[in-house]
Structure 1
Amino acid sequence: MPILTYGDDIIVTTPSCEVASDKEFTLDLGEHNMNEFSAVGQTVGKADMQINLKCKNGTVVSAVMTDQSNPGNTSDTLSLTESSTAKGIGIQFFNDNNANPIKYGPDSIASEQSNKWYIATADKDDDLIDVNLTAKYVRTGDIKAGDASGIASVTFIYE
């Protein structure tokens, strides 16, 4: 909505981005022997994904990842879905080969929220920003073999 000042229109625009790649991903972390998980915290398997954002100049892009099976989860380990039969396993996501896993937070675009992380600032219109994520299984306790699935969402915050 324009703001009127002394008869002139001033249009306030909000910097923003649009997703320029797939919006949904299915990652396959493979099948692994229980012996590969030598201790709690051991990660096994790897699957990469890339989300591409097309942004306006000056847009500051951050994100928060939400555990859809347990939206109140603020740890760094994605909960397994109810249909999963494996035990003692979780899933961790890493951003741009960062050694520390992403911590989960609320599905919200609020600029002040827990566990959001900075991605980049667009330096020109139609700037393409790549968000590179890697998923890995992580041992969380005593292991029981079975299927292990999780569901997470990523909410992008544009400032």
Structure 2
Amino acid sequence: MDIKISTAPTIKASTCDVDGNIDIKMPNIGLNRLLEVGSVAGRTPFNIGMNCDPSISVHMVMTDAQNPGNTSNVLSLSPGSDATGVGYQILRDNSPINLGPASSIAGALNQFKVLSSTGSAGGRYLIPFYIQYQRTASSKPGSGTANANAVFTMSYQ
């Protein structure tokens, strides 16, 4: 007896479709707001928006695009930035996240959970974050432009 499959089946991994690039406009701040190493200022909210398939949990790693080996919680400034002695912190649930290598492997260094489960329906999600300036140098920071780039890698577990 033969069994005939009438349509060409496809098997697809469960994923999320992420909104396009995220461009964050940081406020201008005075250097007097960053008085000592570790001082922070200019906290600015942003979201990562995505549409996810049902029944998955989502983990993420943020990676410093300028220094992919950076595992601290301070994002490096991009080449061409004029400011010195400052960097950026990305926060989740009001706590700075540590950066890590771009990896979708479960349990990757500094990976964190962003969705426990999308439930049986899946759908649209906004993952809230903040970003803020942080003073990194003991010498007085220099003024100017302060651009940075981060890359995020998602893992569906």
Same fold, judged at TM 0.5 (above): yes
One-letter identity of the residue aligned with 2:126: D
Would you say 1:57 and 2:54 are equivalent positions? yes
Measure, in 1, the Cα distance between the counterparts of 2:136 and 2:118.
Answer: 38
CA distance in 1, matches of 2:17, 2:54: 13
Superposition pairs for residues 9-88 of structure 1, below 5 Å? 14-19=13-18, 21=19, 23-88=20-85
How far the C-alpha of 1:154 sits from its partner, in A, is 1.2
Counterpart in 1 of 2:153?
155
Residues 87-141 of structure 1 show CA distances to partners (whole Å, capped at 9, x for unaligned) of 110001112xx23211111112111310010011111223222211111000111
Q: Look up the equivalent residue of 1:15 and give its one-letter code.
A: S
TM-score scaled to structure 2, two decimals? 0.85
Letter in 1 for 2:152: V
1:128 to 119, 124, 130: 124
How far the C-alpha of 1:13 sits from its partner, in A, is 5.2
Instruction: Tell me how far apart the structure 1 counterparts of residues 112 and 29 of structure 2 sit (CA, whole Å).
Output: 30
The Cα offsets for residues 130-159 of structure 1, whole Å up to 9 and x where unpaired, read as 211111000111211121111101111111
CA RMSD of aligned residues (A): 2.0
Alignment of 1:88-99 (within 5 A): 88-95=85-92, 98-99=93-94
Partner of residue 114, structure 1:
109
Q: What are structure 2's unaligned runs of at least 5 residues?
A: none
Structure 1: which 5+ runs fail to align? 1-6
